[in-house]
Amino acid sequence: MVGSAVAAQFEKLFTEHLVIAAQLVQAAKAGHSAGAADAEKRWYANADVIAAFLGHINPHWSAKNWQSMMHEHLALTKAEAAQLLTKKYSESISTFDRIEPQALTMADVMAYGIARQFPSKFSM
């Protein structure tokens, strides 16, 4: 898989990821615990597929590392959403303060892997 095929697959997986996240929040907001549990299960499964995909397309990325980062991110994001839904705003701010550096770490891992995979495109 190269170029546009990789981009299209990543777009598909990431779009699914965001749609499932919205479904999880909607179910939780409506008080549908079974629907929320189902969405959460699909959300983590999607994250595992994304992690495996990233580990496959770049030799400088570890699927296991991506899975760990994704799971941590999902747990934090779910906690923040629950805090917002229950009007625990101070707690949600504290959780966001943990999400931000974690997301930036994922961005750094992604950027590093891309730069290492295509060194001629970057000056290091």
Predicted structure pTM score? 0.92
pLDDT tens digits, one per residue of 8-57: 999 999 999 999 999 999 999 999 999 999 999 999 999 999 999 999 99
pLDDT tens digits, one per residue of 34-48: 999 999 999 999 999
Domain ranges of the chain: 3-121
Q: 27-61: string of b/e by CB count within 10 Å (b at 16+)?
A: bbeeeeeeebeebbebbbebbebbbebbbebbeeb
pLDDT for 3 equals 86
Q: How far apart are CA 90 and CA 42, in angstroms?
A: 29
